Amino acid sequence: MSIREDVTRMKSVAAELASSSIELRNKALKMVAENLRKNADKIFKANEIDIANANANGVQESVLKRLKFDNHKLEDVIDGINQLIGLEDPVGKVTLNRELDEGLVLKRVTCPIGIIGVIFEARPDALVQIASLCIKSGNCAILKGGKETAESNRCLFGVIREAIVEAGLPEICLIQAEAHSEIDELLKCDGLVDLLIPRGSNAFVQYIMNNTKIPVMGHADGICHIFIDKDADLAKAIPIVVDAKTQYSAACNAVETVLVHSEIAAKALPVLVRALNEAKVVVNADAYTTNVYNAYKEDSDVEVHVIEDDAYNVEYLRYELGIKIVENVDEAIAHINKFGSHHTDSIITENQATADKFQNMVDSAGVYHNASTRFADGFRYGFGAEVGISTSKIHARGPVGLEGLVTYKYKLTGNGQIVTDYASGIKTFKHKDLD
Amino acid sequence: MSIREDVTRMKSVAAELASSSIELRNKALKMVAENLRKNADKIFKANEIDIANANANGVQESVLKRLKFDNHKLEDVIDGINQLIGLEDPVGKVTLNRELDEGLVLKRVTCPIGIIGVIFEARPDALVQIASLCIKSGNCAILKGGKETAESNRCLFGVIREAIVEAGLPEICLIQAEAHSEIDELLKCDGLVDLLIPRGSNAFVQYIMNNTKIPVMGHADGICHIFIDKDADLAKAIPIVVDAKTQYSAACNAVETVLVHSEIAAKALPVLVRALNEAKVVVNADAYTTNVYNAYKEDSDVEVHVIEDDAYNVEYLRYELGIKIVENVDEAIAHINKFGSHHTDSIITENQATADKFQNMVDSAGVYHNASTRFADGFRYGFGAEVGISTSKIHARGPVGLEGLVTYKYKLTGNGQIVTDYASGIKTFKHKDLD
C-alpha cells in the first residue's frame, strides 16, 4: 500500500475524526497511556535492539541518550498524555459570533487542520508526543521517525494504534511511514495532506521546504542572539549566556551570537569570555571586537578567534559562539533582524524602555528580557507538548502546541437569505456582535 | 530601482511601522481619506484615460464596470477607510498572559506580519482598500494592480503615499509595482517578503503558488456547492440557488454545483431547472440525474445538458452550473470534500441535525445553512474590507480582513532566569494564567 493510497483512505475519515467528541478523543488518549504501560516490557525490548544497533554503529553518547526509551521516559510521556487530557478542547471554540442581520448569524469556530505529516528525529518519546497532540486536536497524522529508532517506533506505534482503535477512533487516522523513500511520496501528496511539520537538521528541513507544494511549518535555522545592553546587570547576563549556550548546545534555541553594547564592552568582554572559557565554549569575534577585548583583557584571560565581519550567520550547535560589539540597541536590533533566523532573541538590561524597544522591534517568534533563550519550548510554555517550533510568521509562530494544530471555519446560519436583497438595498447588514 | 532593492529598504522600516502607535496609523488613514477627496478630479481624469483605453481595446461591459472609478466608488472607499479607522487595533492584543514561574512572565502579543505583496485585478477601489488594510495593521506592502487601470492606480497610489508621508509614516512602507516583469522579481524575494496575496484568475494564482518560496494566501478555484436536502424548504432553496449563481456569476463564491437529495429529486428537479432556465442559466447534469429529470419534468420544461460523471470539478464563472442527485447528506459531504475547493458550501434543510452534520463535516472555509454562498465576503462579514479569500487551512481561512494580516510573538520577561535551574529540579514551573 503506497503512502498516497493510505492518505486517500485517511482523507475519507478525516471529517469523522474532526467532528468526534472531546470525550472520545480523551478516552482514546487515556487508553493510549494505559496500553503503553501495559506493553512497557515489549517497548523496552524493542528499544534495546535500537540501542544495540546504535552501539554497533558507533553512535555518539549524546545521540544514544535521545534514542533511549526507558521507564523514566515512559513515565514522562504518560505524564504528558495526562496533561493533554486535562487541557481544554482546542476544537469547537467560537471565536466570533455575529448577527449579520436578523436571522443571519455568522460564527467562526475552530476545527482540526485535517491531515498532518510529521517527520521527526530519532526520539521514541517524540512519536508518542506527536501522536497524542494529533489525537487531542482531532487531526489525522502520518508519522515518520528517524531510522535509528525503527524498532522502538514500530512497537510504540502498534501500541498506540491498538489503543485508539479499541477506543473507537478510525484505524486509519494514524499512519506510520517507515521507509525513507516514503518521505518523497509524502511530499507529492499536495491536495491530500494539509500541513507538513519537518524536524531535524537545517539541510533536511530545507529539502522538505524546497520539494513540496504542501504548506510547511517549522524552522531550518535557529540562530538565536543575546544582547547585553549598556544597562545590563552582568550578574544576570553572564549566567544567562552560559546557560543559553551550554545547557543543551545542540538545541535550536541555544544562543549562537552574543552582542555587547559598546559602552559596556571594556567591562563586559573580559568577564564574558572568561566565563565562556571556563564552560569550555570556543569564542569567535570580528577584528574590532577582538581588538577591544585584547585591549581590556587581563593577563590571565584567554584568546578569542578572529572571524570575518559577516560570519555571524552561523548556527554552531556546539560549544562555540560568536561575540560582537554593537554601537547601541538599534544596531543590535538591526543585526538580529538581518543575521537572525527569527527564532528567539533576548536582551539583558535593567532599562525597561530599552527592553520594550527591543521586544517590539526584533522580528522573532520569541523576544525575551533577562531570560535564557532556552526557555523557547512547548513544555516550558505550558502547552503540554509541542510538535515543533515555527520561525514562519504565517499560521503558528514559536513552539507549536494544540492551538497551532487547529484552523477555523465560518458557519453561517440563515433562513433563506439571498445577497440580491442586500445589493439592491431592500435589506441592510446590522453586524451586531453577540454574547 | 529594482523590487529587491525597494523591498530591502522597506525591510529596514518594517520594525518602525510595526511598533507605531494606533493613533499614528489612524491619523494616516484619515489623511488618506482627505487627500483622496481633495484630489478627486485628478483621480477621475486618470481613470477616464484607462476607460478610454479599455473602450479602444473593446473591453467587455462587465469588465468596464470594474475599471470605472467615479464619485460613487470614491465615496465607497472613503466610507471603507472610515470604517477601518473605527475598528480596534489588531496589533498589540495580548492573547496569552502566563506566569511560568515567579518573576517569569510569558505574553503572546499580536504583531504585523511584516512585508506583504498583494497582486490584484484591475479595480482601482481594490488598491485603496488593500493599502488601507495594510496601514491599519502596520504592514509594509508592495501593491501590483491590473494593467488596465495603470493610470488610475498610479494616481491613487501617489495620493495615498503623499498622505501617509505627511502623517509621518515612512515613505517606503508602501511600494507600487507597475511592470508585469516586477511580479517575477517579487516572487524571488523570499526571506524579505513574508506573505504574498495573489488575486485573479485560477491560472494566475496557480502560477504564483508554483513559482515562489514565499508563503501564498488566497484561492485558485472557487467551486462552491449548494446541497438541497430531503428536508429542504424549496421556497428557500430555489431563490438561494438562483441568487448564488446569478447575483454575480464571475465571483469565486458563486455556486457551480447543486446537489439534490435523491428522495426529493422528482419534486425538486423540475422546479429548480425551470427557475434556472428562466434566469438564463445553462444546466448540466450526469446521465442518471438527466434521466430522473426527464422522467419527472413537465411538458413545458427545458432540456439539461448531459455531462460525464466526473465533470463536476468545473468553475464556470458564468450563467452555467451542474446539478447532481446524491443518495443522502453523507454522499453530499463526500462529493463536496472531493470535488470542491474548500471555499464555501451551503445546505438547504429544515432539519437541524442534518445541518449540523453538514457544517461539521464539510471541509470548507464557509459552511452555510439556508443562505446563499455569495455571503462569503469581508464586507458582508463586517470586516470593513478584505485583502482576499483564503481556501488554505493554514493561517487565515475565508475572507481575510485585519485579523489575517497579523501574527504574534512571544514576549518573555524575567529577572535572570536560566533553564539549568529547571532542568536540575531546583526550580519548577508554575504555569499560572494571569488576568
**Which of A334, A398, A422 has the CB atom closest to B410's CB atom?**
A398
Which pLDDT score, from 0 to 100, does residue B300 have?
A: 78
Q: What is the pLDDT of residue A416?
A: 97
Residues of B in contact with A408 (CB under 8 A): 397
Distance from CA of B426 to the nearest CA of A (A): 14
Residue B16 pLDDT: 93
Closest Cα in chain B to A237: B416
DSSP string, B88-152: PPSSS-EEEEEEEETTEEEEEEEEE--EEEEE--S-HHHHHHHHHHHHHTT-EEEEE--GGGHHH
Based on its alpha-carbon atoms, the radius of gyration of chain B, rounded to whole angstroms, reads: 25
- Say how far apart CA A137 and CA A406 lie, in whole Å: 7
Mean pLDDT of all residues in A127-147: 96
B97 HSE (CA, 13 A, CB side): 6
B355 → chain A, closest CA residue = A413
What is the number of residues in chain B?
A: 435
**Closest Cβ–Cβ partner in A236, A393, A417 for B407:** A393
pLDDT of residue B64: 86
Nearest to A410 among B15, B16, B398 (CB): B398
pLDDT of residue A298: 86
Give the whole-angstrom CA distance, residue B129 versus residue B83.
11
Strand partners, A381: none
Closest CA of chain B from A39, distance in Å: 28
- Determine the average pLDDT of the residues in B50-65: 89
Task: Find the closest chain B residue to A195 by CA distance.
Answer: B394
Chain B residues in contact with A12 by the CB 8 A cut-off are 334
Task: Test A398 with B380 for CB contact under 8 angstroms.
Answer: no
For testing contact with chain B, the best of A419, A430, A431, A432 (most B CBs within 10 A):
A419
**d(C-alpha A187, C-alpha A193), whole Å:** 9
- Sheet architecture: strand order including A344-348: A305-306, A282-285, A320-326, A255-261, A224-228, A344-348, A366-371, B406-417, B104-112, B94-101, B432-433
One DSSP character per residue, A256-270 reads EEEEEEHHHHHHHHH
Q: State percent of chain B over pLDDT 70.
A: 100
**What's the pLDDT score for residue A208?**
93
Residues linked to residue B98 through DSSP beta bridges, in sequence order: B106, B433
**Which has the minimum average pLDDT: A31-35, A109-113, A236-240, B200-204?**
B200-204
What confidence score (pLDDT) does residue B66 get?
A: 87
Q: B177 CA to chain A: closest CA distance, Å?
A: 23
**CB contact (8 A) between residue A363 and residue B114:** yes
pLDDT averaged over chain B?
A: 95
pLDDT score at B292 = 97
Asked if residue A401 lies in contact with residue A133, where contact means CB atoms within 8 angstroms, the answer is: yes
A73 pLDDT more than 90: yes
- Locate A259 and state its grid cell: 552582542
* Among candidates A235, A357, A412 on the partner chain, residue whose Cβ is nearest the Cβ of B368: A412
pLDDT (mean) for A110-118:
97
Checking ipTM against 0.85, whether it exceeds it is yes
| % residues pLDDT > 70 (chain A) | 100
Q: Pull the grid cell for residue A159.
A: 501500541
* Neighbouring-strand partners of residue B412: A368, B106
Task: Please answer yes or no on whether B12 and A334 come within 8 Å at the CB atom.
Answer: yes
Q: Which residue of A has its CA nearest to B100?
A: A381
| CA nearest to B428 within chain A | A380
- The model's pLDDT over A293-346, given as tens digits with 9 standing for 90+, comes to 999 998 777 999 999 999 999 999 999 999 999 999 999 999 999 999 999 999
User: Do residues A238 and A275 lie in contact, with contact meaning Cβ atoms separated by under 8 Å?
Assistant: yes
**Residue pLDDT, tens place only, B141-184:** 999 999 999 999 999 999 999 999 999 999 999 999 999 899 99
Instruction: Tell me which residue of B392, B384, B387 sits closest to B117, measured CA to CA.
Output: B387
Give contacts of A364 with chain B, Cβ < 8 Å: 409
Q: Which of B243, B357, B407 sits opposite A397 (nearest CB)?
A: B407
Contact B32, B74 (CB under 8 A): no
Report the side by side order of strands in the sheet with B344-348: A432-433, A94-101, A104-112, A406-417, B366-371, B344-348, B224-228, B255-261, B320-326, B282-285, B305-306
A165-175 pLDDT per residue, tens: 999 999 999 99
Residues of chain B with Cβ-Cβ distance to A235 below 8 Å are 416
Contacts of B431 in chain A (CB under 8 A): 382
Nearest-CA neighbor of B37 among B85, B64, B66, B73? B73
DSSP secondary structure letter of residue A98? E
Under the banding of pLDDT at 50, 70 and 90, the label for residue A61 is: confident
The residue to which cell 493510505 is assigned: A6
Q: Which pLDDT does position A396 carry in this prediction?
A: 93
What are the tens digits of pLDDT across the range B73-88?
A: 999 999 999 999 999 9
| B240 vs A360, A370, A418: nearest CB | A418
Helices (H), A279-321: 287-296
Cross-chain CB nearest to A410 (options B365, B412, B418) = B365
C-alpha cell at position A120: 521527526
| Residue pLDDT, tens place only, B405-435 | 999 999 999 999 999 999 999 999 999 999 8
Q: Are A11 and B337 inside 8 Å of each other by CB? A: yes
Burial A103-134 (b: 16+ CB within 10 A, else e): ebbbbbbbbbbbbbbbbbbbbbbbbbbbbbbb
Pairing of strands B366-371, B344-348: parallel
Q: Which residues in chain A have Cβ-Cβ distances shorter than 8 Å to B362? A: 15
What local confidence, expressed as pLDDT, does residue B200 receive? Answer: 85
B368–A113: do the CB atoms touch at under 8 Å? no
Nearest chain B alpha carbon to A344: B410
Our measurement of the distance from residue B66's CA atom to the centroid of its chain's CA atoms, rounded to an integer in Å, reads 17
Contact B136, B24 (CB under 8 A): no
Per-residue model confidence (pLDDT) at position B299:
79
**B60 vs B399, higher pLDDT:** B399
Residue that has been written with the C-alpha cell 524552522 in this structure:
A219
Nearest to A409 among B113, B243, B397 (CB): B397
Give the three-state DSSP class for A423: helix
Delineate the domains of chain A, giving CATH numbers in brackets. 3-218+392-410 (3.40.605.10), 224-375 (3.40.309.10)
Task: Enter the C-alpha cell of residue B350.
Answer: 429544515
The pLDDT of residue B295:
95
Q: b/e per residue, B77-107, with b = 16+ CB within 10 A?
A: bbebbebbbeeebbbeeeebebbbbeebbbb
Helices (H) and strands (E) in chain A, counts: 15, 17
A243 and B418 in contact by Cβ < 8 A?
yes
Q: Rounded CA gap, B238 and B269, in Å?
A: 10
